[in-house]
Amino acid sequence: MRSTRAVEISTGLFVLLGFASLFFLVTQITNRELAISGGSYQVNAQFENVGSLKPGAAVSMAGVTIGRVDSIGYDQQIYKAVVKLRISSAYNRIPTDSDAAIMTSGLLGGQYIGITAGGAEEFLKEGDRIELVQDAFVLENLINQLFATFARGSGDASKANEPAAEETKQ
Amino acid sequence: MNLLRELLENLRQFIATIGATTLFLGRVLAQVPRAFLRPGLIIEQVHNAGALSLVIIMTCGLFVGAVLGLQGYDLLQRFGSEDALGTAAALALVKELGPVVTALLFAGRAGTALASEIGLMRATDQLTAMEMMAVDPIRRVVAPRFLGGVLAMPLLTVIFIAIGIFGVQVVGVQLFGVDSASFWSQMRSSVGVDDVYEGIIKGCVFGFACSLIAVYEGYTATPTAEGVGRATTRTVVTSAVLTLILDYMLTALML
């Protein structure tokens, strides 16, 4: 039998390797790594439709992630989705008239909130609301419209182009 | 008529084995607190079950990841979305392949070693000798081995997954030139801590099941050379089948 010392060392290495792997999995491949270290502040925004936005999705400005979506709720009074955004305190110079849009990364990618800076002198702070919003682009709606157009088109081929042209103008 | 009787007999034996295993589990668990009084024995078994399985786990993890990279890339590039390779491979590894393949390897490497070791102790009357010296073989031999397996298995699982993701990365990013940034960022945005928990919980459950089967089969082996051989075979077969059945149930539970 090998000496106890060698057994202890190799077991210790094994356990350390296990915990290092766990650390890697939890920090490197999961999305909580920007669980926002240090201070942060919360702002909210109201959307007609959030599409498939999920808590934990990125909030980004100019493509740089500056925060996360904290929670998504539905307000029965105003019939809108209320999205709470948690933004790192390092980014505390976001004008109050900035615009928040729900965007999709790639054709089938996940959704995130993109903020475009406005021109106001005052900056967003804890509890503020972003007034200018742009809803999620829902692919299904577009496809439904397209199908509706085709359905009408097959019914009456001569009129097919007109409604289609109208809808594209919208 | 004979066939029916045989079937009934098999069924009765099957139920009896389940009962015996459960009772055995109770006896082992009752000795677990006392086994912790001698941590040296447990460390030695973590070494046997874990550290000695490391090479096979790491090699297999690397190649499973690499194959996942090849197949995943080939499939995804048909849809022009090879950037999603990171997501697809990481989720597959974390939730399914990692725990299941690790459990199968664990049963093959550590489970058989446990079963044949305890079975051989039984065959050479070492366990009886212990009983005569008023040493409870369950506390001295079985409980530390069981605990070693239970502790080692989740660690082996996460190591397997981490190495597997490295393997995917080697094939996908280095070999096929998937954009490294989108590989990692898509993986990060779609793999949650919950998914990692799911993998670890599966690893723990499989470790528990495989270790229990190994020590039970070893402990109840017929004390002959043939009996020990049979016990070893049964360990692998039962562990593999049970792992896959449990995997289905756990997935259905946690989906």
- Comparing C-alpha atoms, which of B192, B188, B198 is closest to residue B87? B188
The total of other beta-carbon atoms located within 10 Å of residue A151's CB is: 10
> Who among B46, B154, B192 is closest to A11 (CB)?
B46
CB contact under 8 A, A25 and B94: yes
Measured in angstroms, the CA of B143 and the nearest CA of chain A are apart by: 18
pLDDT above 70: percentage of residues in chain B: 100
Mean pLDDT across chain B, nearest whole number?
A: 91
| Mean pLDDT, residues B67-79 taken together | 90
pLDDT level of residue A164 (50, 70, 90 thresholds): very low
Q: Is the pLDDT of residue B63 over 80?
A: yes
pLDDT level of residue B157 (50, 70, 90 thresholds): very high
For the ranges A35-39, A113-117, B7-11, B104-108, the maximum mean pLDDT occurs at B104-108
- Greater pLDDT, B8 or A65: B8
pLDDT level of residue A37 (50, 70, 90 thresholds): low
Q: Is the pLDDT of residue A166 over 60?
A: no
| Mean pLDDT, residues B134-138 taken together | 89
CB contact under 8 A, B54 and A28: no
C-alpha A128/C-alpha B3 separation (Å) is: 77
- Hey, is the C-beta of A39 within 8 angstroms of any chain B C-beta? no
Residue of A nearest to B47 (CA): A11
- Hey, is the C-beta of B89 within 8 angstroms of any chain A C-beta? no
Q: A-chain residues within 8 Å CB-CB of B94?
A: 25, 29
pLDDT at site A36? 60
CB contact under 8 A, B158 and A29: no
Best of B95, B173, B188, B195 to mutate (most A CBs within 10 Å, chain A):
B188
Give the ipTM.
0.72
Mean pLDDT across chain A, nearest whole number?
A: 78
Beta bridge partners of A44: A84, A129
- Greater pLDDT, A17 or A35: A17
Q: Is the pLDDT of residue B170 over 60?
A: yes
Instruction: Provide the residue type at B120 as one letter.
Output: L
CB contact under 8 A, A30 and B156: no
- Hey, is the C-beta of A17 within 8 angstroms of any chain B C-beta? yes
First to last CA, chain A: 81
- Greater pLDDT, A3 or B156: B156
Are B89 and B178 in contact, with CB atoms under 8 Å apart? no
Q: Could you tell me the residue ranges of all domains in chain B?
A: 41-254
CB contact under 8 A, B192 and A32: yes
What is the token pair recorded at A77? 């009074």
Q: Is the pLDDT of residue A2 over 70?
A: no
pLDDT level of residue B192 (50, 70, 90 thresholds): confident
Q: Is the pLDDT of residue A154 over 80?
A: no
pLDDT at site A155? 59
Cα angle B233, B214, B153; round to 5 = 120
Dihedral class, residue A79 (left if φ above 0, else alpha if ψ from -120 to 50, else beta): left
Q: Is the pLDDT of residue A162 over 60?
A: no
Q: Which residues of B131-148 are buried (b: 16+ CB within 10 A; e: fewer)?
A: eeeeeebbbbbbbbbbbb
CB contact under 8 A, B162 and A108: no
- Hey, is the C-beta of A24 within 8 angstroms of any chain B C-beta? yes
pLDDT at site A156? 55
